[in-house]
Amino acid sequence: MADEVKLFGMWASPYSRRVQLALKLKGIPYEYIEEDLSNKSSLLLKYNPVHQKIPVLVHNGKPIAESLVILEYIDETWRNNPVLLPQDPFERSMARFWAKFIDEKILITARKVSFNTGKEQEQAIEELTEQLKLLENELKGKPYFAGEAIGYLDIVVANFLVFWFRNLQEALGINMFTQEKFPIIFEWIKKLVKINVVEECRIPKERHLVYIRTRLEALKSASK
């Protein structure tokens, strides 16, 4: 009997997109269910009653929540190439460390950039710049974060930096993430976008720009 794999996600979420990328890299057939986060489905609430968030992977009726947990589950369940996490225990722990750094530091600071203005936004941009420099240093001397081929950490970074944040800064009218400031990351991006499944998982730019601007206007109106 074939595996039944479903992914509950949201089109603009870099967390959903990273799970889609892992599934496509592994060649795993799955059914995608788009969620309206303003009106969450009863199935999403059933499968993720703790956080009530996307993404949720449902494998043969068993739900797994949180994107980093899902990525590890996919890698451990479908061991076919490519293997996403490093086999060496130290390298594997470092990949997990940087993944948490991205989710718990970089993404949170990126949101500060979008939700603030003036001096507070400038401070958030400085903080984000320093964090991205640390991430770039981790990539130095390697074609990919995982080494010679795309892997777990590349997947974690991909949709955030390659698509989501670049769209965000365009919508905000800022220009802090540039090739001049981050040449190593931009060389990595050039290699990454040549991979077909990465392009398949791209957040659609124009739709995303409209979505970001609409949300920013709603936040401004709410704060008045």
Domain positions in the chain = 5-77, 89-223
- Report the pLDDT value the prediction gives residue 81, as an integer from 0 to 100: 79
| Helix (H) or strand (E) run with residue 33 in it | strand 31-34
CA-to-CA distance for 130 and 150, rounded, in angstroms? 24
Helices (H), 42-117: 42-47, 67-77, 89-101, 107-115
Q: Could you say which of 1.20.1440.230, 1.10.3720.10, 3.30.1240.10, 1.20.1050.10 is the CATH number of the domain covering 89-223?
A: 1.20.1050.10
- Report the pLDDT value the prediction gives residue 162, as an integer from 0 to 100: 87
- Tokens encoding 66: 């949180």
Q: Which fold has domain 5-77?
A: Glutaredoxin (3.40.30)
Q: Which of 152, 158, 102 has its CA nearest to residue 131?
A: 102
Instruction: Give exposure, 25-41, as e/b (b: 16+ Cβ within 10 Å).
Output: bbebebeeeebeeeeee
- Report the pLDDT value the prediction gives residue 116, as an integer from 0 to 100: 87
- Report the pLDDT value the prediction gives residue 224, as an integer from 0 to 100: 62
Give per-10-residue mean pLDDT for the chain (224 aa).
90 96 96 96 97 97 97 95 92 96 95 90 96 97 94 94 91 93 96 93 94 86 69
Give me the torsion for CA of 207, 211, 216, 217, rounded to 10°: 100
CA-to-CA distance for 58 and 7, rounded, in angstroms? 6
- For tokens 């995608």, name the residue: 32
- Report the pLDDT value the prediction gives residue 188, as an integer from 0 to 100: 96
- Report the pLDDT value the prediction gives residue 223, as an integer from 0 to 100: 66
CA-to-CA distance for 43 and 49, rounded, in angstroms? 10
Pairing assessment for the beta strands 31-34 and 5-9 based on DSSP bridges: parallel
- Report the pLDDT value the prediction gives residue 98, as an integer from 0 to 100: 97
